[in-house]
Structure 1
Amino acid sequence: MTTTPFRTLDDTFTAAGQIQPSDVTEAAAAGYALVINNRPEGEDPGQPTGAEIEAAAQAAGLSYVAIPVDHSGMRRDQVDAMKAALEAATGPVLAFCRSGTRSTFLWAFARAELGDAPADLVAKADAQGYNVRPLFG
């Protein structure tokens, strides 16, 4: 059983707070194809390293991408990397950070650039407790 709630925004994307290597096994069993790590190394004491999550993803047959975002804000290269990862994904994506908010913001920016209506993105995020309205206002 997952130690972190997975919040499914749509059939292609789920956000989560910090996951553990055991959560990756569960994600693979649930049909996810890609894990995106939006958490910088060492943000909190005791958080698993990116290498540990990546090794768990590889062992479970999942792809892994690291796009760390710290609290200074998001940059163009991070949005571009998220967009590329979403486009390349061969199935549902599980992205995580401390709470799932940075992952959801990156997803919303990327999906908007890929043509999704901001109102639809706001509604999907709202349904899972994330507020992306400020991104589009």
Structure 2
Amino acid sequence: MDLRKITDDFTVSPQIEASDIPAIVAAGFRSILCNRPDGEEVTQCCFDDVSEAAANAGLEVRSVPITSGVVTPDDLKAFNAALDEMPRPVLAYCRSGTRCTMLWTIAQYGQVEPEEILTLTGQAGYDMSGILRQLSQS
């Protein structure tokens, strides 16, 4: 498991497995947010397996699946609702963590200074400069 902290309340990760849930609980997470659709890869752990293990461990779980490279206004609304409603800290996962970080960046744009977004996401290993450039032009 490769946990990449963005803020104290939001961490991203590449794909997790149901077997990772005890370590996620031990790390202090209270919620898991899946941003990956089932079936992107043949060997990918399905959301239902993660969800069942997480719920059995007392975590809140939600799925807001995002097709890679395509974020609709409804997707962003569902992502924001999940962050607003889920107990923190939240662990969000997708294939590599990039999608989750991109969604967080879009959600924070206008509330957090772009330089701080770049610093926080960069420390986690993600370059969101392209997304921020696109947002500033819209």
> Do both share a fold (TM > 0.5)?
yes
Q: Which residue of 1 aligns with 2:121?
A: 125
RMSD of Structure 2 on Structure 1 (CA): 1.2
Instruction: Give the percent of matched residue pairs that are identical in Structure 1 and Structure 2.
Output: 34
The correspondence for 1:79, drawn from 76, 99, 106, is 76
1:118 CA drift (Å): 2.1
* Contact 2:60–2:87 (Cα < 8 Å) also in 1: no
- Residue by residue over 1:71-113, the C-alpha shift from the partner in whole angstroms, topping out at 9 and shown as x without a partner, is 2411111111111111112210100011000011011111225
Q: Which residue of 1 aligns with 2:88?
A: 91
* Contact 2:32–2:61 (Cα < 8 Å) also in 1: yes
1:134 CA drift (Å): 1.2
Partner SS for 2:29: coil
Corresponding residue pairs, total: 133
Q: Unpaired runs of 5+ in structure 2?
A: 134-138
Runs of 4+ with >6 A deviation: none
Q: Which residue of 1 aligns with 2:47?
A: 50
Q: Unpaired runs of 5+ in structure 1?
A: none
TM-score (norm 2): 0.91
